[in-house]
Amino acid sequence: MNRDVAIVAFGQTDHLRRSDELSEVEMLMPVLHEVLAATGLRTGDIGFTCSGSSDYLAGRAFSFTMALDGVGAWPPISESHVETDGAWALYEAWVKLQTGDADTALVYAYGKSSPGSVRDVLTRQLDPYYLAPLWPDSVALAALQAQALIDAGATDEQDLAAVAARSRDAAAGNPHAQLRGPVPHGDYLVRPLRTGDCPPIGDGAAAVVLAAGERAGELCGRPAWIRGIDHRIEAHGLGVRDLTDSPSTRLAAERAGAFARPVDTAELHAPFTAQEVVLRGALRLGDDVTVNPSGGALAANPVMAAGLIRLGEAAARIHRGASDRALAHATSGPCLQQNLVAVLEGDPR
């Protein structure tokens, strides 16, 4: 049987277009201190630490080792790193807690998109034989998916504009978001996607604390229990996939138990408007579900942290009693290539 594990604290930076005055560790440290202070834990109390970031964003090899200074990693701590979104670092930490080797875990993620050109940087994660030599950028690939969805009659440009507007409206209540309130739908960046359909480019970091069993109740008034968590992947070739659907999201949601009972909230990691349409369909979310009350990735998209932030935002709503059962989703790769789904619940009030 699974051990009960909960998210007991969440923190994030303000997400900004540039953060030249801060190194990665300088940007990250206040968030680490925030989640530690929220739980009363000190760095030495943490059983396992796991992070997510990307050397290609930083432009330097082993860039994550510098960030480790911020967690007091010397003398050596039990630590790991994933070269992808921090949501997968949370998954690894959850597994570690399942083994019983640790009772608490610190999970963090950060990304600075400002030093490079993130559209070009993300081409380097693609198939090196058939895709990478063509340098198809992240917006172009998302646009191919959006057009497929429009051709299938599942959405149109007006619908997409409404997704964008609703996200940035919601973000008006999120002081950390980069785009808040009305944002013009704008010109085509890569048609059919307009600038308003695309996420802001920026820098940011986030952290959560996980705790198992009774420890969770000691550290948090209302822990966000992870009732299920799973991640799945689509076929490697874009031209093999049906870009209008996300079977891997649906499978991960099934395995996480998302369909057992309705959720009241969903935090979806959809950097592009059309991807929210795909995810709503795959997850069979009804109109009664509050989707992305934080504004989602369309309001703040610190690459490598934006997925972890979905889990953190969903948990924070449970912490403050705004949700009882929430779904959190994270994605990585082109056109929703890999997808993670977690179901979070608060104890009855």
Of the ranges 117-125, 156-164, 169-177, 223-231, which one interacts with another protein (CB under 8 A)? 117-125
| Rounded Cα–Cα distance for residues 33 and 11 (Å) | 9
Nearest approach, Cβ of residue 38 and another protein (Å): 16
Q: Decide if residue 5 touches another protein (CB under 8 A).
A: no
Residues 143 to 162 in contact with another protein, rule: CB under 8 A: 143-148, 151
> Binding residues for another protein, how many (CB under 8 A)?
62
CA-to-CA separations, 270 to 25, 56, 302, 317, 320, in angstroms, rounded? 27, 21, 13, 19, 24
Of the ranges 8-16, 174-182, 234-242, 274-282, which one interacts with another protein (CB under 8 A)? 234-242
Q: For the chain, what's the residue count?
A: 349
Which x/- pattern over 240-279 shows residues binding another protein (rule: CB under 8 A)?
Answer: x--x------------------------------------
Per CB under 8 A, the list member of 1, 62, 100, 128 interacting with another protein is 128
Structural tokens at position 39? 């739980």
Cis peptide before 75 (omega within 30 of 0): yes
Sort residue 321 into left (φ over 0), alpha (ψ -120 to 50) or beta.
left
Q: Say if CB 127 and CB 333 are below 8 A apart.
A: no
Structural tokens at position 334? 């082109």
How far separated are the first and last CA of the chain, in Å rounded?
25
3-state secondary structure of 323: coil
Which x/- pattern over 54-93 shows residues binding another protein (rule: CB under 8 A)?
Answer: --x--x------x-xxxxxxxx------------------
Of the ranges 125-133, 206-214, 259-267, 304-312, which one interacts with another protein (CB under 8 A)? 125-133
Nearer to another protein, 30 or 257 (CB): 30
Residue that the structure tokens 């640790």 belong to? 102
State the residues that interact with another protein by CB under 8 A.
Answer: 20-27, 29, 32-33, 43, 56, 59, 66, 68-75, 115-117, 119-121, 123-124, 128-137, 140-141, 143-148, 151, 188, 190-193, 235-240, 243
